[in-house]
Amino acid sequence: MLGLNNEIQSLYDSILTKYKEAIILQTASSILHWDMETKMPPRGIELRSQQLSVLELAGHKVITNPQNGRLLDSIEKHPNKYFLSNQQVRNLYLFKKVYDENTKLPDSLVSETAKQQTISINTWKKAKAAKDYNIFKEDLKKIIELKLEAAEILMDVKGTKTPYDALLDSYESKMSAEKINRIFNIMKKGLIEVINKINDSEKKINTEILEIKVPVNDQKKISQILMDYLGYDILSGVAGGRLDETEHPFTTGYYDDVRITTHYYEDKFTSSFYSVLHEGGHALYNQNIPKEYMYQPLGEASSYGIHESQSRMIENLIGRSPEFVSYILPNLKKIIGKPFKGIKLRDFYEAVNVVSPSKIRVEADEVTYGLHIIIRFEIEQMIFNGEASIEELPQIWNQKYFDYLGVQIENDSEGIMQDTHWASGLFGYFPSYALGNIYDGMFYKKMKRDIPKFKKVIKSGNFIPIKQWLKNNIHSKGNLYDPEDLIKLVTGENLTVKPYLEYLERKFSKIYNF
């Protein structure tokens, strides 16, 4: 019996060795992507596309090595497989999922997709700067075709009804477009009710505060205060993070090397303010997954929606709360000086929570943000159901923005080209943002119950109890659970939009007096 236990442990260890190889290649790719967005000279794009293509293909080959299939088969047939722990069983399940899916994808498709993603991102940057969709549309068409080809291949192994469902599953396990549509329809109805109440309110919020010019150097000092608040270290001799500037803020990295980015606007300082909080939330999740899960399938987030719940929790539910605003305003006054001298707490709090339909997703308020995601979700379904051509996409986008948010899109850079996700081939990712908000509502409700004097904790500038709660309840679980199972474990409830909508109603009724 002991010999058999040693045998199955050896088989299991061999699986983890292969996975570690793949993770190391994947994390090397992520750093090259980071460099491409932050430091790489313009002429480096062709070489970078080749580098990323080779790394992507190498990682694909490590995962799809036939030996992995034999190892998995041997473990499945082993008489002592029942001695494996729950964590080991979960690791094997996740590895087999990755193996089964990747073995269906041809090497040529993996390599070509990685190369095209790099080219498309570069083209998107040029097209956005020129405000010319025509520059971008052919590369967008190519990346869509490649992702559709992969999705059609993966439908069978993932057990999905449609190609788009296969894409969604890559970001939110076991979620389908049908299920998301049901959830989003409830959310959309609730959001529109709150928006209508705000529109009917006589309360007018002065947002001139947000237009005060703040030099970039001062904004960098503010960013450092925010990172110190979160406990995201970029300065010490044992730092595991850094902050850099990019066109579109993002987070990348793994455990001991997790990097965030932001974009500074002198006349819109809250853009970087809240992007640092948002990306900091992502970074804390990556850094706080248990060290013993490193290089294992368990050493990753439960889903992209759970990841977004962590970033948007800190950006909005914490960062736009009256308590946090009360804590941070004296710091802002000290750094910004005279322009902020006479600003009152109530005025600043209301300004950073103003509800006003906008063209740009990353600058959207808490209430209208979900509609930005619903627009993208609906368009993605149209693309992969064959209901929208490349040429029609800008017009479809612009019409939906007018219908849902009442705003007129002036050019494609503030319209269909505002986000980098489609250029990166991340179709199916966008729903995770809104799902993250919904998850937040449930987590926030539970967290407030669990942390004594919750509001006083935030107001005092002490983030440690909140960080510990997030770590204990979410970060520490890694990828032990699928998202809906994790939510049930943490909150005791099944997935529901209700707590999030109640949070919005409660908060904005006080701001807008309805």
For residue 72, count CB atoms less than 10 angstroms from its CB and return exposed for 0-12, middle for 13-18, buried for 19 or more. middle
Among 185, 337, 171, 362, residue whose Cα is nearest residue 261: 362
Residue written as tokens 């477009």? 177
Cβ contacts of 102 within 8 Å, gap of 6 or more: 60, 63, 64, 110
Q: Count other C-beta atoms under 10 Å from residue 451's C-beta.
A: 16
Among 359, 273, 362, residue whose Cα is nearest residue 318: 273
How far is it, in rounded angstroms, from Cα 438 to Cα 391? Answer: 33
Distances from the Cα of 210 to the Cα of 59, 213, 269, 349, 394, angstroms: 45, 8, 7, 11, 30
Among 49, 64, 55, residue whose Cα is nearest residue 28: 55
Residue 352's region, left for phi above 0, alpha for psi from -120 to 50, else beta, is: alpha
Select which of 37, 56, 279, 366 is catalytic. 279
Q: Are strands 241-245 and 257-262 parallel, antiparallel or unpaired?
A: parallel
Quote the DSSP letter at residue 82.
G
Element housing 63 (H / E): helix 45-64
3-class SS of residue 260: strand
Angle at 284 between CA 243 and CA 13, to 5 degrees: 115
Whether the CB-CB separation of 442 and 488 falls below 8 Å is answered with no
Q: Catalytic annotation on 279? A: yes
Just list the catalytic residues: 279
